Structures are given as structure tokens and as C-alpha cells.
């Protein structure tokens, strides 16, 4: 895999020039990644209907829970594996909802720049893609990552996303905390991680989770060592070059792995190229 970065100015031809500079103009199977504020990621019970009728039935269910008219939105569904059982015929699903206007505008911008968009991804599934590279047979993986928008913890098993939870703690909060407040902040993170693990254990008894991965950081904060000392499960720092083959001389540094973390996860989906 290769990667690169080009600035985009507020001009119609800037995106095209940036893609050309990266050697990505003319791509036909491209992927783009939505930012957290551009979509809603929801958990909902699926109606008890035939598979062919599911999406239409879910549209009316989502109408009650999204904060904008569902008629003006597009959505996709991800079944949460193992979410149904003998006591209930219902399935629990993730629903990803975004406004049509935003999606049309974004795709049109890339079409004009000669970059064919076939995948629109989100951080939750991009993070799952990277976690899957660390999975062992019959074992689940938790992955915790912090960026400028906050924290995201995912739990996946056999390449499937089982749980996703956001934390209101940013990478800047972690890096900027004083020595006096570090233990308190890290303790909050441990508590939230443990709550997530307890929740997953209650909901998915068949999933054995033996490892927590911590995504790349902009700088070493001591978080990984703290989690290793305070969680009963093994904790490991993510190093993308150990699971992704980068072009020779193009291995991203630690700061680049942090900045582009979800973009890398988006790019490895079906071999799509992601700007």
C-alpha cells in the first residue's frame, strides 16, 4: 500500500489537482470516509419481516429515531451477529444514516475530479477492518482509538462488528493532561473500557475477547502502559506496518499512522483506494 497527502484549497479544480498529484485521478473503485458529524450510527431492532421487505420496514422504524426527515436520507444496515436467540425472533442491527444532500454533493465532487466512488465508509467499519487483521481464530478483538473528535472503541469477531461506542475524550485531552490529572483521566478510560467489555460479555456470551488493541497516538502518552497495568485482558499497541504491507520507503511514521488511521482502514476494504 502507498499513501500520501495533498492540501485542498476552496477551488473547484483543487480536488482534481490533489488527486492527480497522488496518482489517484481516474480511479474507478474509490472509497471515501465520512466524518463523525456527517452521519448517524444507530442500533435498532429489526422488524419481523421477510428479508426483501427489511429495508423498507427499517425506514419507518428509523423515522422515529433520526433527527432529520428519513425521506431526505440514505441508510445502510449491518446485522449484529448473534443478536437474536430462541427467546426472541428479532435481530439487532446497526443503521448508518446520512443526508442525501451531503452524499450527492460529496460524490459529485469526486466524480468531477475523475475519482469514481464505489464505497462510502465510516470510522466504525474502517476500524473494524484494521481490527480484523489482528484477530486470532475463535477470538474477539477490542480496538480503542482517540483522535481530534473523541474516542471510539469497537469490538469485532470473525471480521464482523459486534459493538461500537464513542468516548467524549480526545487525543488532545490525553496529550495535554497534567501529570496530576493523568491518572484520573486514564482511570476514566479504564472504567469506560471495562463497562464496554462487561456489556459485550452480557450480550454476546459466545464471543471470547482476549485482546484490547490501542490505535496509534500522535505521541506517546503512557496510555498503553496504564491500560496494560489496569485491565485483566491483554493490551497491545497497534503498529500498522506489522499487518499492512506498505510500499518500500513509504511506511508511515507514528504521527501519520495516527492521522490517517481510519483512512487506512477504509482503504483496505475490498482493495479500494481511499483519499
CATH number of the domain enclosing 249: 3.30.420.40
Same domain (yes/no): 194, 243:
yes
pLDDT-based confidence at residue 164 (cuts at 50, 70, 90): very high
pLDDT at 87 over 50: no
Q: Does some domain include residue 57?
A: yes
Q: Is the pLDDT of residue 204 over 80?
A: yes
Asked if 108 and 21 sit in the same domain, the reply is yes
For residues 164-193, give the mean pLDDT. Answer: 94
Query: The domain that contains 103 carries what CATH number?
Result: 3.30.420.380
Contact between 118 and 272 under an 8 Å Cβ cutoff? The reply is yes
* 202: in domain: yes
Rounded-to-integer distance, Cα 81 and Cα 112, Å? 38
Greatest alpha-carbon span in the chain = 57
- Looking at the domain assignment, is residue 223 inside a domain? yes
For Cα atoms 106, 269, 33, give the angle at the middle one, nearest 5 degrees.
25
Query: Cα–Cα distances in Å, from 112 out to 39, 116, 193?
Result: 23, 9, 43
Grid cell listed for 67 = 433527527
- Looking at 121, 146, 169, which one is the last position of a domain? 121
Work out the pLDDT band at 206, boundaries 50, 70, 90: confident
Backbone phi and psi for residue 244, each to the nearest 5 degrees, phi listed first: -120, 135
- Domain boundary (106, 121, 136) is at 121
Residue 275's pLDDT band (boundaries 50, 70, 90)? Answer: low
Nearest to 189 by CA among 159, 230, 158, 136: 230
Q: For the residues 57-68, what does the mean pLDDT come to?
A: 87
Q: Which of 79-88, 103-112, 143-152, 233-242 has the lowest mean pLDDT?
A: 79-88
Domain membership of residue 19 (yes or no) is yes
227 pLDDT higher than 80? yes
User: Helix, strand, or coil here: 69?
Assistant: coil
Q: Give residue 250's pLDDT.
A: 85
Task: Please determine, for residue 271, whether its predicted confidence score (pLDDT) is greater than 80.
Answer: no
Given this model, what pLDDT does residue 85 score?
47
CA pair distance 133, 107, nearest whole angstrom:
29
Answer yes or no: is 1 within a domain: no
d(CA 253, CA 151): 21
Query: Mean pLDDT, the chain, as a whole number?
Result: 90
The dihedral of CA 31, 8, 152, 222: what is its sign? positive
* pTM, 2 dp: 0.90
Give the Cα separation of 79 and 73 in Å (integer): 20
Q: Do residues 45 and 62 both lie within one domain?
A: yes
Number of C-alpha atoms within 13 angstroms, CB side, residue 48? Answer: 4
Domain presence at residue 258: yes
Quick one: pLDDT at residue 248?
84
Return the percent helix, strand and coil in the chain, to nearest 5: 40, 25, 35
Tell me: do 165 and 258 sit in the same domain: yes
Do 144 and 95 reside in the same domain of the chain? no
116 plus 217 within the same structural domain: no
What cell does 104 get? 450527492
Angle at 97 between CA 96 and CA 101, to 5 degrees: 140
Judgement on whether residues 101 and 128 belong to the same structural domain of the protein: no
Task: Please check whether residues 113 and 133 belong to one and the same domain.
Answer: no
Map grid coordinates 482517540 to a residue: 146
Average pLDDT over residues 152-180: 94
Per-residue pLDDT of 16-48, as tens digits, reads: 898 889 888 889 889 999 999 999 999 988 888
Q: What pLDDT, on the 0 to 100 scale, is given for residue 98?
A: 96
Q: Give the separation between CA 255 and CA 216, rounded to whole angstroms.
A: 8
Higher per-residue confidence, 139 vs 88: 139
Residue of 240, 267, 236, 238 lying closest to 251 (CA atoms): 240
Residues 143 and 103 in one domain: no
28 and 116 together in one domain: yes
Residue 260 forms part of a structural domain? yes
Task: Determine the structural domain holding residue 84 and report its residue range.
Answer: 14-121
- CA atoms 172, 34, 7, 21: torsion sign: positive
Domain assignment present for 228: yes
Whether residue 97 is predicted with pLDDT greater than 80 in this model: the reply is yes
Q: How many CA atoms lie within 13 A of 103 on its CB side?
A: 18
Do 250 and 132 lie in one domain? The reply is yes
Domain boundary pick from 55, 87, 121: 121
Counting the structural domains of the chain, the total is 2
Pair 160, 239 in one domain: yes
Amino acid at each position: 500500500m502507498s499513501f500520501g497527502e495533498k492540501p485542498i484549497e476552496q477551488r473547484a479544480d483543487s480536488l482534481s489537482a490533489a488527486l492527480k498529484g497522488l496518482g489517484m485521478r481516474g480511479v474507478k473503485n474509490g472509497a471515501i470516509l465520512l466524518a463523525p458529524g456527517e452521519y448517524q450510527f444507530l442500533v435498532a431492532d429489526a422488524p419481523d419481516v421477510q428479508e426483501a421487505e427489511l429495508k423498507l420496514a427499517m425506514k419507518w422504524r428509523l423515522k422515529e429515531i433520526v433527527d432529520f426527515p428519513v425521506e431526505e436520507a440514505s441508510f445502510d444496515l449491518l446485522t449484529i451477529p448473534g443478536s437474536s436467540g430462541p427467546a426472541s425472533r428479532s435481530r439487532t442491527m446497526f443503521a448508518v444514516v446520512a443526508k442525501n444532500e451531503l452524499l450527492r454533493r460529496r460524490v459529485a465532487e469526486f466524480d468531477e475530479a475523475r475519482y469514481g466512488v464505489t464505497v462510502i465508509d465510516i470510522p466504525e467499519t474502517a476500524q473494524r477492518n484494521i481490527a480484523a487483521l489482528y484477530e486470532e481464530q475463535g477470538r474477539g478483538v477490542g480496538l480503542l482509538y482517540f483522535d481530534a473528535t473523541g474516542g471510539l472503541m469497537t469490538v469485532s469477531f470473525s471480521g464482523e462488528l459486534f459493538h461500537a461506542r464513542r468516548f467524549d475524550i480526545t487525543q488532545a485531552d490525553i496529550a495535554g493532561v497534567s501529570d496530576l490529572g493523568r491518572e484520573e483521566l486514564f482511570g476514566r478510560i479504564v472504567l469506560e473500557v471495562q463497562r464496554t467489555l462487561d456489556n459485550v460479555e452480557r450480550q454476546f456470551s459466545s464471543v471470547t475477547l482476549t485482546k484490547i488493541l490501542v490505535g496509534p497516538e500522535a505521541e506517546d502518552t503512557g496510555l498503553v502502559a496504564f491500560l496494560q497495568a489496569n485491565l485483566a485482558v491483554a493490551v497491545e499497541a497497534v503498529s500498522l506496518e506489522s499487518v499492512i504491507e506498505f510500499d518500500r520507503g513509504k511506511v508511515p511514521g507514528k504521527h501519520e499512522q495516527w492521522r490517517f488511521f481510519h483512512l487506512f482502514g477504509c482503504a483496505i476494504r475490498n482493495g479500494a483506494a481511499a483519499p
